[in-house]
Amino acid sequence: MARTAATRPSGIVSASGTEPRPDWDDLRYFLEVARTQRVSAAAQRLGVDHTTVSRRVRALEQSLGTLLFDKSRNAGFALTPEGQQLLVHAEQMETALQSACEQVAGLGQTLSGHVRIGSTEAFGTYFVTPVLSRFQREYPAIDFDVLPVPRFVSLSKREADLAITIERPQRGPYVCSKLCDYRLQLYATPGYLAQYGDVTTFADLGGRRFISYVDELSFSNELRYLEDIVPGCDVVLRSTSVIAQYQAALQGEALAILPCFMAAQDARLVPLLVNDVVVTRSFWIYCHEELRKLKRITVLWDYLRDAAQRNDALLQGTAGQLQLI
């Protein structure tokens, strides 16, 4: 599918002389290839074999009389300028169809559908997942994929419908809102304090061993806080995963700065220097403008905001239990 002047179709018109009308089903295949940039990945998401995907994409290109993808060994299927233009309209059509089906179905039954949520690792595991489990009691016909990962998810590739992250997106056709603020504090086990001594002042941190992120692999500068608080400290274990850091802290051999919504729920950890070592960060929730119009997204968005407000004490480290709505 290399894009050259020799192979680029000049345009196809039906025998009746009317403008071509692409099959909507072909557009579905186009959307998945555009989002994954791989025919094999698109086939997996669609539940078909890769030859079917290739055939449907070629059929769409022939009906439109233009190439939609440039194919390369390294980059996979990259959108051509024409493909990028079509992507905008195809996503609008997809959302409009979802919205129409949702409204029609809503006339006679409960809210239903599928939502994929991408979130930071700890928040997705210790907050979003239990909150969604309770949400499904009220809306049992909505099912979820939860992606708690130590990186940013890509909404442009439709890795998720809704994202919760620690940085506000700077560009893109998104609706975005601050979900909540949260705090991180310094934690240790009682066993650590018994073996290595109490920590009651900053001076007591001298010579201590710490757990932290792998700086050069951190997905956000918002995660680089340890060096600001304890410059030159001895970091003996680093991980890209905050859950791995949490598990390491539980072994009682080093100190770690952890999110309160995770560590405060575990009686095996004790917060230290609570008035002196305080890191505050924010979570942002966002999705595509068109998806925000879907009722299931609106209901879920509001539910997550209510859950965050209800659990402000846990997020700030002054409570030790998640309050479910």
Q: Which residue has the higher pLDDT, 75 or 254?
A: 254
In CATH, what number is assigned to the domain containing residue 310? 3.40.190.10
Q: Which residue is associated with the tokens 């949260």?
A: 182
Nearest to 324, CA basis, from 113, 126, 111, 144: 126
What's the pLDDT tens digit per position in 49-70? Answer: 989 998 999 889 888 888 998 8
Task: State whether 41 and 162 are in the same domain.
Answer: no
Q: Are residues 275 and 188 in the same domain?
A: yes
For residue 81, give the CATH number of its domain. 1.10.10.10
pLDDT at 5 over 90: no
Residue 19 DSSP code: P
Q: 321 in a domain, yes or no? A: no
Q: Please, which residues have CB within 8 angstroms of residue 275's CB and are 6 or more apart in sequence? A: none
Residue 126 gets which letter from DSSP? I
Q: Which of 93, 125, 149 is the last residue of a domain?
A: 93
The model's pLDDT over 186-208, given as tens digits with 9 standing for 90+, comes to 999 999 999 999 999 999 999 99
Does residue 128 sit in the same domain as residue 206? no
Token digits for 66? 């233009």
| 187 and 276 belong to one structural domain | yes
Tell whether 99 is covered by a domain: no
Q: Specify if 100 maps to a domain.
A: no
Q: Identify the residue with better confidence: 86 or 165.
A: 165
Residue pLDDT, tens place only, 155-171: 877 789 999 999 998 88
pLDDT of residue 46: 86
2 occurs within a structural domain: no
60 and 176: one domain? no
Q: Are residues 187 and 52 in the same domain?
A: no
The pTM of this model reads: 0.72
Number of domains forming the structure of the chain: 3
In a domain, 322, yes or no: no
**CA gyration radius, the chain:** 25
Q: Are residues 219 and 186 in the same domain?
A: yes
252 and 294 share a domain?
no
Task: Calculate what percentage of the chain has a pLDDT beyond 70.
Answer: 88
Distance CA 301, CA 303 (A): 5
Q: Which of 271, 236, 268 is nearest to 254 (CA)?
A: 236
What is the rounded CA–CA span in Å between residue 158 and residue 165?
15
Q: Is the pLDDT of residue 131 over 90?
A: yes
Question: Does residue 187 lie within any of the structural domains?
Answer: yes
Lowest-confidence segment of 90-99, 142-151, 215-224, 282-291 by average pLDDT: 90-99
Q: Give the pairing type, strands 278-288 and 162-165.
A: antiparallel
For residues 172 and 307, membership in a common domain is answered with yes
The residue range of the domain holding 299 is 106-180+282-315
Supply angle C-alpha 34, 288, 148, rounded to 5. Answer: 85
Token look-up 């009906």 returns 63
| 196 and 275 housed in the same domain | yes
**Locus of tokens 């290399």:** 2
**Is 275 inside a domain boundary?**
yes
Residue 33 in tokens: 């290839």
Cβ neighbours of residue 171 closer than 8 Å, sequence gap 6 or more? none
The closest alpha carbon to 72, from 39, 117, 35, 24, belongs to 39
Are residues 111 and 252 located together in one domain of the fold? no
184: helix, strand or coil: strand
| CA separation for the pair 189, 256 (Å, rounded) | 10
Q: Which of 152, 290, 274 is nearest to 223 (CA)?
A: 152
The verdict on residue 148 lying in a domain is yes
Q: Are residues 244 and 161 in the same domain?
A: no
pLDDT at 143 over 80: yes
